[in-house]
Every structure is written in structure tokens, then in C-alpha cells.
Structure 1
Amino acid sequence: MSRTVPLRSFNLRRSVLSVPAINLRALEKAHSLDGDAVILDLEDSVAPEKKAEARENLRRFFAWPPLEGKERIIRINSLSSEFGEADLDLVKDVLPDAVLLPKVDEPQDVMAAGDLLAEADAPEELRIWAMIETPRGVLNVGAIAEAGRTPGSRLDCLVVGLNDLRKETGVLPQPGRSYLVPWLMQVILAVKAYGLDALDSVFNDFKDSEGFDAECGQGRAMGFTGKMLIHPSQIAAANRHFGPSAEEIREAEAIISAFADPEAEGLNVINAGGRMIERLHLVQAEALVHKARLISARKPA
């Protein structure tokens, strides 16, 4: 009998658009976009003198009809900043799907936020995402991901922030990201070890569709779940790259069918069409088909 796929791991996160909370027009437009999730940003995209106005925008946003089929994530300012407490109070009031913590350096950053949410009796469904965008964050990413599997932790997803990481390390923004690949793969190893999702960093030049395509292909090949985006024009390409292809779906369905044969009962390895298929491939195939069904259900009839 095949393993049941844990559904919590299957939120669609191919395309995650960051929207400045100060921009009401962009907030309104989020309802009509085909992205999988929206990050409602109170941090980098909002000037200090506009923080309070941005929070009020989000209060109005959450009073509107909810985004159908999309996760809503609020990126707050650092809890150690002058804005962090008010941001977290907003999160407790409006209850998004997740709160995104900036510049997470160590597991304690995640645990402290989780403790504050628990003290406020925030529902367990309110998850925590963590930005990995500092040298310390990369060095500690394994411990940060491991903290996501401790009792009471709400950690669900890591988001790579290369703009800040480049700034702090002096690595230049070159095509192919060759000097950054080792750090990106450290994030992937951490999330795969502890069952989390990981989003690749933003691509800054939204008019460079060819460069964006190449970076999406690289991120998918590395194992990222999806990509954080800065412009709606990037959504379609991200959905295409981080979603399963028709060929991948057909292959996954063939693996599921092969293991459903009574002769495969109790076998961990079978011969299917001249290929040796292990039961671990069945688990992967079930996950891929489930993702494909979620994507299909999102499409209008």
C-alpha cells in the first residue's frame, strides 16, 4: 500500500508576489492575478514614515473578500525594530495565513515569534515563514529548519533574499549566480531534511524575461518550491517553470499505475517499462500528481 501524502506540504507556492502594503492599487489588483500567494510587505518597500499607513491599508485589505485560492503572508519589520511590535499586533488581529520574518539569523528568531503568537492564542494555522538573507542566516540555516520541527513551531517555508545577502557579502549580481549556488543549495538541503518549502529569491529586472526564465529554470533544477516575485508580469513564467510538465505528469501516473498492479504488492522495487522503479519514486509521483490536481482545480472551468 502506498504512503499517504501529507497535504500540508502541498500549498501551491510556484509564484509568490510581493506587494507593498502602502500601494492600495496593487493590493486591489492582487485579487485578479494568477499567483499562488501574495506577500503583503510592511518592511523594505515601505518608508519609515509610511509604516502606520501601510498597516491601516492591510486592515482594510483583510476586511475585503479574501483572496480566492491564494495564501496571504504579511512580511513584518524585525521584532527588534521600532515597528515590529505594531506589525505583529496587526498580524494577531487580521490573521493572515502566515507571517514572514525578515533577516532570520538563528533558530531563536523563529521560536520567539512563535511564542508571541502562542501567547496571543493565534490559531495554529497561522504559520511562520523566514527570510534567509544574511551570512549568519545561511550559516545557521540547518538549525533554523530543524527548529521548524520542534513542538509548537509554526515554521513552514524559507525564503531566500539575495539582495541583502549580496549587499552584506559583496558578491556581484552576475548571470548564473555561480558564486551564490553553494549558499542556495545549503538552503535546499535544510528544507529537504526537515520537510519545509523554500522559495528562490526575487529577480530584480522584471523586463528581462529571458534572464528570468533562465533563473526560474535554475531554481527549479536546484529543488526550490517556487519563486518570490516583484512584478505581476513574472507570474506566468514562474507558474510554468515550477509546475509539473505534461510529460512529468504522465510519467508519475505511470509509476502510480505500475505500483497499483497486484503483482507489485509488497515490493519496494519493480520493473516498469524496462526501468527499475523504487517505492520512493511512488511517493514522489503521488506528490507530483497531487500538485497537478491542485493546479488544475485553480483554473477556471
Structure 2
Amino acid sequence: MTPHPLTWLYVPGDRPSVVAKALAAGADVVVVDLEDAVAPDRKEYARAATAELLSEPRPDVHVRVNALDTPWAADDLRTLAPLPGLSGLRLPKVTSAKEVTAVAEQTGGLPLYALLETALGVERAFAIASAHPAVHGIALGEADLRADLGVREDAGLDWSRSRVVVAARAAGLAPPAQSVHPDIRDLDALAVSCAHGRALGFLGRAAIHPRQLPVIESAFLPTGREIEEAETIVKAAVAEEGAQALADGRFVDAAVVAAARRTLSLVRRT
């Protein structure tokens, strides 16, 4: 997987031709969805098609399995977890650390990403994030969370967003990716939403259409000015052989240097 994935493209598992297109769309991670995007009478077909896809090694393909309390989840895990083409599992509607631990014990250390989509899941964000070494990330499922909370305005989700960002950091995980932006036509609104998410501490975003990918990547990549400032800070720290250095008249401590290094780590080299 790329060191810092910025784009996570969801694609329905029961549409192999669409999955094939998604694999060539340029997303950092393709997420084959067996849950919300697949009707109940198509679950078994979607699982079988996904198993065929993952029967050989592939870079950066995840699967969102069905919720753990559904009749399909056990077969999803048993069938897909051993396959060589699977890089990670996304677990929807997680509400407890116990659920994640149980999956981790079944799947032999496969990277797990817990999706928090209810008030209870958000309240237990840190416990879930730190439940097991196999947990590589947490994120919100905002459509379900919005319904659970009865939130009408987007700002009503900001506390939950910050809660997940803090929990991920406290657990030593990468910053979470933002939830999907459902309007695939309004790319300007997507860009504004991404800028807001970045300000809250998110890194990258899930997408539901390839046309959203360039907007998301542009929003989360550092700007030229940010790169220049980060390079100045790191060079000053190195020159002083420590974190306490002066860069352009500003005092730079270890935390500032670490942030600058994180910024430079996001630069996409060609």
C-alpha cells in the first residue's frame, strides 16, 4: 500500500466490470463493497465474484464485508480473508472493541479498518482503535451516523469527526480518511468539504466515482508553499543538529519539525 493513501474508491462487488474499471482508475486503494452497494439477493454472487478477483495477488484492494451481525458476514470473512489479493478488510457498523478483536483472531493479522456509524461506535472510538494490533485505521460512516443522530446540518457531525481524529491519533493510527461525498456531480462542493475535513485533521477521503479522485488528491496534497515551508523547517533542524532551530525567524520545536516531516512524506514523487 502507498505510505499515505489519499483516495479510497468504493465499487460494488456484484459488478465485476465496474470493479475492473475501478482498478484502473488511479485510486490509492480500491474498496470492493459487499455491504450497502449490494442487494440481499446478490450477496452470494458478489462474494463469489470478489473471491475470484482476489485469487491472485493485487495491490491495494480492500473489501468492505457485511456488518458483523448479519447472516452474510461469517461467510465473507471465511471466504475472503485467506486470499492473496486482499490487502485489508473494512468492517462496517462497528460498536465495540470485542467485535474487532473477534475478527482479528479469525483473520490472522490481516489489516482491519473499523467504520463507526452509530453514536455508540463514536463514543467507543478509542477502545475500538486500540482493540488489537491488526486495527490499522478507523473512519466514520456518515450517512448512517447522520440518521442515527438525527442530524440535519453537516456541521452537526463535526464533533464526531473530531472525536474520530483524536481517537486515531491517541491509538497511534494514521489520520482517518473522510467519509464519502454523495453528490458525484458537484465537485466544487466536494473540494470545499475536503478542505474542511483537512482542517479537522482528516487525511484523504473515500470516493464513489473516479471523477472525485483528482479533487480529493488535490485537496489533501500539500501546496507548493506548504512544501517550501516544511523543507525550510527540516533543513534548519538538521543544520542545528536538533529540533530547536530557527527557521525564517520562527522558533521551531520537535513537534513542528515532526509536522514538517509529515508534510514532506505526502509529496508524490514521479
TM-score of the superposition, structure 2-length normalised?
A: 0.94
Are 1:255 and 2:233 matched, yes or no? yes
In 2: Cα distance, 1:12 partner to 1:19 partner: 21
Are 1:274 and 2:254 matched, yes or no? no
Alignment of 1:280-295 (within 5 A): 280-292=255-267, 295=268
In 2: Cα distance, 1:216 partner to 1:91 partner: 32
Q: What is the deviation of 1:63? A: 3.9
Q: Which residue number in structure 2 is paired with residue 18 of structure 1?
A: 10
Query: What letter is aligned with 1:41?
Result: D
Q: Which residue number in structure 2 is paired with residue 229 of structure 1?
A: 207
- Taking only aligned residues, the RMSD between alpha carbons, in angstroms, comes to 1.7
Moved >3 Å (runs of 4+): none
Q: What is the deviation of 1:221? A: 0.8
Alignment of 1:1-301 (within 5 A): 11-63=3-55, 66-67=58-59, 71-95=60-84, 96-118=86-108, 124=109, 126-148=110-132, 153-172=133-152, 174=153, 177-197=154-174, 198-261=176-239, 264-265=240-241, 267-292=242-267, 295-297=268-270
In 1: Cα distance, 2:127 partner to 2:68 partner: 20
In 1: Cα distance, 2:8 partner to 2:51 partner: 21
Identity %: 30
**Equivalent residues, number:** 268
Unaligned stretches of 5+ residues in structure 1: 1-7, 119-123
TM-score of the superposition, structure 1-length normalised?
A: 0.84
CA contact (8 A) 2:243 2:253 kept: yes
Query: What letter is aligned with 2:103?
Result: A
In 1: Cα distance, 2:228 partner to 2:260 partner: 10
Q: What is the deviation of 1:64? A: 6.0
CA contact (8 A) 2:13 2:33 kept: yes
The 1:282/1:101 distance shift into structure 2, 3 A limit, reads: same
Q: Which residue number in structure 2 is paired with residue 4 of structure 1?
A: none
Unaligned stretches of 5+ residues in structure 2: none
Query: What letter is aligned with 2:4?
Result: L
